[in-house]
Amino acid sequence: LESHFEVRRIDDSSLAAVRNADAVIGVGMPHRMFDGAERLRAIATISAGYDSFDVEDLTRRRIVLMNTPGALTETTADLAFSLILATARRIVELADYVKEGRWTGGMGPESFGVDVHGKTLGVVGFGRIGAAIARRGALGFGMRVLYYNRSAKLEAEAQTGAQRRELAELLRESDFVCVTVPLSPETVHLIGSAEFAQMRPHAIFVNIARGQVADESALVQALQNGTILGAGLDVFEKEPLPLESPLRNLPNVVAVPHIGSAVAETREAMAASAVENLVSYLIEGKPLNVVNPNAL
């Protein structure tokens, strides 16, 4: 960055610096930070998701928003799959059992899990990460893949044999339901009590997208009532997960602290991609990874 721009570091106490900036790069930037930033032409977020931005407001103000989607696809799909496996085979619960010295004899049916291989995997949102999860399921674990997406994804269908379904059909037919759809006004609480009720009683729900895509209190009820078998969660309606959340005490939940892309090489690749976005657009005039092309 420093070879192309005059760079200023911004923290909460120096937000005013944004008002004089031509571009901003960072992660977890609150939209209010851009209020009164008359000079701003470009924002590079070091993330794939951009639900924290008011994209319409940026477009109106001709501020170009760029993200880093490709850099974290495979890493986030690995995390999703580890949640599938950990929940199905109760890895966290049973690993604690060993560490706490409670493994004193043979393990009976009360410790049994469910199989992953050969089962049906339903992917809600079939973009980059959804298709990468589907590849793992279809090619690695012999799973049948169903997907729900607003457009058909023919290339990913050809790679994985995935079949497109309406959401209700996917929920009724899947053993694992994995949510990868971005958060937007259309997807807030896309999965609520009616949707959990459509799932199979042995279904496992995995969310690596955004917490608000699922209604968390409906999820807690579904887990407590046995409507579904378990959940693997990387994202929550409120992050960090509040101490009083019932999710913390449910044995059939594997919860991790939003670590989808938390791998050193990947975080470095994401930062490099965000820098490249800025240089390519502002220095070379070639916009890359633009979220709001109408702002160009």
- For ligand NAP, which is the closer residue by CB, 6 or 166? 166
Active site includes 265? no
- For ligand NAP, which is the closer residue by CB, 18 or 235? 235
Among 182, 192, 246, 287, binds ligand NAP (CB under 6 A): 182
Catalytic residue among 164, 189, 258, 267: 258
128 scored as a contact of ligand NAP (CB under 6 A): yes
150 scored as a contact of ligand NAP (CB under 6 A): yes
* Strand-strand pairing, 144-148 and 204-207: unpaired
Of 29, 75, 129, 66, the closest CA to residue 267 belongs to 75
The binding track of 192-211 with respect to ligand NAP, each residue x by CB under 6 A or -, is ----------------xxx-
Active site includes 210? yes
* Strand-strand pairing, 144-148 and 163-164: parallel
| Piece of the chain touching ligand NAP by CB under 6 A; list 14-22, 32-40, 107-115, 181-189 | 181-189
Identify the residue whose tokens are 């009532």. 225
Query: Both tokens of residue 17?
Result: 């610096």
69 scored as a contact of ligand NAP (CB under 6 A): yes
Among 86, 88, 129, 133, binds ligand NAP (CB under 6 A): 129
Among 125, 137, 211, 232, binds ligand NAP (CB under 6 A): 125
Map the footprint of ligand NAP across residues 220-239, applying CB under 6 A. Answer: 234-235
Among 200, 258, 276, 280, binds ligand NAP (CB under 6 A): 258
Please state, in angstroms and as integers, the Cα–Cα distance from residue 73 to each residue in 70, 130, 132, 152, 261, following that order.
6, 9, 7, 19, 8
Q: Which residues contact 293 (CB under 8 A, 6 or more apart)?
A: 287
Please state, in angstroms and as integers, the Cα–Cα distance from residue 39 to each residue in 11, 114, 190, following that order.
19, 56, 37
Give the C-alpha separation, 150 to 187, whole Å.
Answer: 11
Catalytic residue among 39, 62, 117, 239: 239
- Cβ-in-10-Å burial (0-12, 13-18, 19+) of 251 comes to exposed
Other residues' Cβ atoms within 10 Å of the Cβ of residue 215: 21
Of 294, 250, 296, 292, the closest CA to residue 65 belongs to 292
187 scored as a contact of ligand NAP (CB under 6 A): yes
48 scored as a contact of ligand NAP (CB under 6 A): yes
76 scored as a contact of ligand NAP (CB under 6 A): yes
Return the active site residues. Answer: 210, 239, 258
Instruction: Name the residues that contact ligand NAP, by CB under 6 A.
Output: 48-49, 69, 72-73, 76, 125-130, 149-151, 180-184, 186-187, 208-210, 234-235, 258, 260-261
